[in-house]
Every structure is written in C-alpha cells, then in structure tokens.
Amino acid sequence: MTQTAQPLDIGQSKEYSANAKEKWNPKSAQVLLEEGKAYRVEILDVVQWDDNGIHAIPPTEGFNKWYLSPFWFLRRYQAAPWFMLIGAIGQNSKHFFPINQSPLNYTATATGDFFCFANDAPFAYGNNKGSLTLRITRLS
C-alpha cells in the first residue's frame, strides 16, 4: 500500500525519525509541503549522527575535514558541509535546502513531499550511523 503525503493545516505538526543510513527520509511520503507556505523544521532528538566514525553533532553544522576537501563535488548538496541535515521538496536537487539551524523557518519553493538526508556522497551511506527525530509544523 502506497502512503500519500498529506498537507498540514496551519499550526499542525508531524514528527518522524530520520536515519543517517537512508538516502531519503522518510521512506514513504508523509508531509506535503505547499509552495509559498511557511514551515518550521525542528530537530527534537539526536541519537548519534556519524559518518564512518566522524561525529557530526549537531547535524545542523555537519563537518568539513581538510582531507575531504578534494572530494567536495561528491556531496549530494555541494553548497553545504558533509553530513549536514538537508531538506528536500520531492527527490529533486533543485529543491534541496540546508537545515542549518533548529528550529528553521522555511518557505516552500515548490509543492511536493518533504524528505531529508545526511549530506554524503550518494554511494557512501553504508558506513553512516545514527538517527534523529524531526518535527515539521506549518506556520502559514
């Protein structure tokens, strides 16, 4: 059975878990962001957020290690540090946005399902560890 993402009413929230090993969180659509509407994204709890033993706590900062500098172009969202939490409207890189603070107030640039991920190379999710809990609240 396919789950369909649902829009939120003003003031309504949805919480779910995001796993550092997953290329797309959640695995099934849960929240439909609507273009022009304002949302608050909050990280409620972090249970480890590691990339092959490198701690990226808080996930709003990620990390930049000198030895990874030559590989910057491998990050899924090149404008943000390694392992920063990235939001997405749909699974289209045109609508990626950094979750670089918590809470983050964000106005949707398109209509589509909300996803998020740890900013890593697309082929390197197997050595990631940890999870976090997110809450999305519609503000307007």
With respect to residue 125, please indicate whether it lies within any of the assigned structural domains: yes
Q: Is the peptide bond before 103 cis (omega within 30 degrees of 0)?
A: yes
Considering the entire predicted model, what is its pTM? 0.93
Domain total for the chain? 1
**pLDDT (tens digit, 9 = 90+) per residue, 88-128?**
999 999 999 999 999 999 999 999 999 999 999 999 999 99
Residue 119, SS3 per DSSP = coil
Burial pattern 20-56, b for ≥16 Cβ within 10 A else e, equals bebbebbeebbbbbeeebebebbbeebeebbbeeeeb
With respect to residue 18, please indicate whether it lies within any of the assigned structural domains: yes
Domain range enclosing 98: 6-138
